[in-house]
Amino acid sequence: MPKWKLVTEFTFDSAHYIRDYNGPCGRLHGHTYKVQIEATADRLHASEYCPHQVMVADFKTLRWAKQDATKGGLDHGVLNDIMPPEYETTAEMIAQYIYDETKKRVPEGVRLKVRVSETPNSWVEYEDD
């Protein structure tokens, strides 16, 4: 059976604080978040932007989070104000939020893995397939 995997990376800049955190992370501060999304599928799909079944998922769709916060993305916003309250703004929960929102935007059957880095030396991966 065929299998395709595509990977895209992007960054966005946002501020956040971790609620009730006893330390510097409890204060408003910012990061340049680096996000990597892996999408795999055993068949190709069309997209909102292309009617032909020629892609796992559209790169433009996968990169929704890098859009400005005023346009539905996460860039240059305060994550505590953007993300729903059930998602705390830890790297783990940011990865889960990006996964959950991306999953709604890709064709059925596309499997995802989301990796989020707050710093060059620390990251988290999330998948739920």
20-67 tens-digit pLDDT: 999 999 999 999 999 999 999 999 999 999 999 999 999 999 999 999
Any idea where the domains of the chain sit in the sequence? 4-126
- State how far the Cα of 89 lies from the Cα of 95, in Å rounded to an integer: 9
Q: Taken in order 51, 56, 61, 66, is the CA torsion positive or negative?
A: negative
Helices (H), 1-129: 59-62, 79-82, 91-103
**β-strand partners of 40:** 5, 111
Pick the CATH number of 4-126 from 3.40.50.300, 3.30.479.10, 2.40.420.20, 3.40.50.10330: 3.30.479.10
Q: Are 110 and 102 in contact (CB under 8 A)?
A: no
What's the pTM? 0.95
pLDDT in tens, 82-120: 999 999 999 999 999 999 999 999 999 999 999 999 999
